[in-house]
Chains A and B, each alone.
Chain A
Amino acid sequence: MSRPQAAFKSQLAARHRKGRVFYALCVTSTWLGISTLVVMLAGIIWQSSGWLNWTFLTSYDDALHPERAGILAGLWGSFWLMLLTIVISVPVGVAAAVYLEEFSSDTRLTRILRINLANLAGVPSIVYGILGLTVFVRMFGAFGSEQKVLAISLGFAELQIPLPFGRTVIAGALTLSLMNLPVIIVSAQEALRAVPSSLRHASLALGATRWQTIWHQVLPSATPGILTGVILSVSRAIGETAPLLMIGAMSYVAFTPGDISSPLDAARNPEGVLKAPFDSFTALPVQIFNWVSMRNEYQHVAAAGILVLLVVLLALNALAIFLRHRYQKRTRW
């Protein structure tokens, strides 16, 4: 046996030992993150046991009696916020994605747009909060210190829009929409890219215009993918606290936006539906933050609130996974 070979052999065992240690380190690190998740969930369930009950889900907040505090206002506040955020950000986001994927050639403008999107996604959410506070809540102070009301008659009811918006649901939803846009645009772009170009070519060859091709062929094929992205972006937005604190979601609210506290109310009181976007509000994560800062017994109330929030998130994610699964099974290009 030559000398280099002998050296190689003698070192090999040590090198394999080192490899095994390294492997163990990598595995431990990976499971460290995941076990934290388990510990965190277990701790929150433990803290909230006995506090998450029907009263908690159906009553308003109580600053003096933790056992009477509830999350009803936050649930409805978050519901309206998410509804309006989806209504505002999805059409705009999908339209922007369609432009970037289907119309733009790789010019300077689209390159700037792409870089800009990457940077917007990295802007801290609190900065969006300041943007919302200045632009939507106060509107640069352009309307003076008095709030004015713009009334639009719709025949059966009157739509009253306060200007500036003040600390209302619509100001929060617009802020979250701006924050959500980059996420929706990027995921919609991916969904559009996954549609094979043969589909577009076939449609164009049959004489459809470019827009007809997009509207009747490309968008329907990309819908499941877009929907998955929308749900995931909503599940991110629903937990956002900082921008809502900035624009002034209130801590104690003993009413729901538009006084609608059950789906039946919406049918009975259509004016409430029009009123809701311009009402003041609180949201699920804002209530949780408020309870966390109160400490003591409210610690358990906060844990119960967190559990509700996590269940909502889990449901949204499950829906997204279900959609992705169905989509992968049904479409074969």
Chain B
Amino acid sequence: MSTSSAAIRTDPPTASPAGSLAKRFSVARAKEFVIKLFLLGCALLSIGTTIGIVIVLLTESVVSIDGTPAFFQEVSIWEFFTETRWTPQFPPPQQHFGIAPLLAGTFLVAGIAALIGLPVGLASAIYLSEYASPRARGIIKPALEMLAGVPSVVYGYFALVFVTPYILRPIFQSLMGFDVAVFNAASAGIVVGIMITPMIASLSEDALRAVPQGLREAGYALGSTKHDVAMKVVVPSAFSGIVASFLLAVSRAVGETMAVVIAAGQSPNLTLNPFESIETMTAFIVNVSQGDTPAGTIEYKSLYAVALTLFCVTLAMNFLSQAVMRRFREVYQ
């Protein structure tokens, strides 16, 4: 359907039918064209944002704009990934830029979050799609949406003020004798796990509900119980959708900032002990911006290098999730 069919009606009646159908200039058509260009411009703005992000992250880290050397011109990429100390605030002899502690901290928190979020989220999704009555769904779905809508600064507060003193300390310090620091990776990981649960539940539920009813009925006809159908028919059929939701959720846990800044601490330790204070990539970025690091110094530029690493990690996970999702679509369409 083209705009010309509508535009011919504004032509004077004297024009011959053949002439009026030709693509001639008219004010109405020009107006439509300008509007369409404006709308396209707005749509292209989203691509502009992506390009903006990439340019901003590359300036200061790879390409310098103000004449001083960029981050990766002073610190080699090899050192950045193999050095195991992250001490940007020290003077040069002790100053080390090895991202390993920040990466370890990030994945420690994301790992704990995944340990909680993946099973709980998937079990909720199975319950919602296979077992729940419409009435139960009507209560649970909005409650999960509320859980997803709580700002992350609130989760951070919850981790610091409740999870560490009232859950972690009594169980792991008093009972088991571990040393639980005030700021620790476990409390942050637990609340981030609670945060990503609704996301996994809702995305996985979509995948489970997309499995054709016929497959379930075939399962029952072969003598399966409800549990057999859920675990041996429905979950395997929706597997790629579930994996895609896991990847998206873990990517969100990696990029999560406020809960981690508040609860996990600011000490870049290369450790896998969840009760120690650590620092994630996001927490480092916030801490540098909150301090009084002057622009132009190498410490300030390290912020862009860390952000670039974070962006690459989350982007890779999102791409992977979409690739898995596309495979999933091919199965039933």
Contacts of B256 in A (CB 8 A): 124
Q: A208-B6, A246-B286 are in contact. List 15 more A-B contacts (CB 8 A).
A: A16-B225, A26-B126, A30-B201, A33-B147, A33-B194, A96-B45, A115-B322, A122-B252, A127-B307, A209-B3, A238-B151, A239-B152, A248-B289, A309-B154, A317-B149
Is B327 part of the contact surface with A, judged by Cβ < 8 Å? no
Name B's interface SS.
helix
Q: Which 10 A-B pairs have the closest CB atoms?
A: A239-B151, A124-B255, A19-B227, A29-B123, A99-B39, A95-B42, A26-B127, A242-B257, A122-B318, A96-B43
Q: Measured between alpha carbons, how far is A313 from B317 in the docked complex, in Å?
A: 30
Which residues does B use to contact A, with CB under 8 Å?
A: 1, 3, 5-7, 9, 28, 31-32, 35-36, 38-40, 42-47, 49-50, 52-53, 56-57, 59, 65-66, 119-120, 123-124, 126-128, 131-132, 140, 143-144, 146-147, 149-154, 156-158, 160-162, 194, 197-198, 201, 223, 225-228, 230-231, 248, 251-252, 254-258, 261-262, 282, 285-286, 289-290, 295, 303-304, 307, 310-311, 314-315, 317-319, 322
B123 touches A43 (CB 8 A): no
Q: Measured between alpha carbons, how far is A124 from B114 in the docked complex, in Å?
A: 17
Select one of B59, B120, B156 contacting A134, CB under 8 A. Answer: B59
Name A's interface SS.
helix
Q: Measured between alpha carbons, how far is A313 from B282 in the docked complex, in Å?
A: 25
Is A79 part of the contact surface with B, judged by Cβ < 8 Å? no
Contacts of B120 in A (CB 8 A): 29, 32-33
Contacts of B40 in A (CB 8 A): 99, 103
Is A322 part of the contact surface with B, judged by Cβ < 8 Å? no
B53 touches A127 (CB 8 A): yes
Q: Measured between alpha carbons, how far is A34 from B66 in the docked complex, in Å?
A: 51
Contacts of B319 in A (CB 8 A): 119
Contacts of A241 in B (CB 8 A): 151-153, 257-258
Contacts of B3 in A (CB 8 A): 209-210
B31 touches A124 (CB 8 A): no
B156 touches A34 (CB 8 A): no
Given contacts A29-B127, A103-B39, A239-B153, contact A112 B46 (CB under 8 A): no
Q: Measured between alpha carbons, how far is A294 from B153 in the docked complex, in Å?
A: 14
Given contacts A15-B225, A29-B119, A40-B150, contact A130 B49 (CB under 8 A): no
A123 touches B46 (CB 8 A): no
Contacts of B45 in A (CB 8 A): 92, 96, 181
Is A288 part of the contact surface with B, judged by Cβ < 8 Å? yes
A124 touches B314 (CB 8 A): yes
Contacts of B201 in A (CB 8 A): 30, 33
B-facing residues in A279-311 (Cβ within 8 Å): 285, 288-289, 292-293, 299, 302-303, 306, 309-310
Select one of A15, A19, A289 contacting B153, CB under 8 A. Answer: A289
A245 touches B28 (CB 8 A): no
Is A261 part of the contact surface with B, judged by Cβ < 8 Å? no
B-facing residues in A1-50 (Cβ within 8 Å): 8, 12, 15-16, 18-19, 22-23, 25-30, 32-34, 36-37, 39-40, 43-44, 47
Contacts of A118 in B (CB 8 A): 318, 322
Is A147 part of the contact surface with B, judged by Cβ < 8 Å? no
Given contacts A8-B223, A33-B201, A236-B149, contact A126 B255 (CB under 8 A): yes
B147 touches A37 (CB 8 A): yes
Measured CB to CB, the closest approach of chain B to A164, in angstroms, equals 12
A134 touches B160 (CB 8 A): no
A-B contact pairs, 12 of them (CB 8 A): A33-B198, A36-B147, A44-B157, A99-B42, A103-B40, A116-B46, A120-B50, A126-B307, A126-B310, A211-B31, A211-B36, A292-B153
Contacts of B289 in A (CB 8 A): 129, 133, 245-246, 248
Q: Which of A135-143, A154-162, A221-229 contacts B (4 or more CB under 8 A)?
A: A135-143
Measured CB to CB, the closest approach of chain B to A130, in angstroms, equals 5
Given contacts A126-B286, A207-B6, A289-B262, contact A98 B39 (CB under 8 A): yes
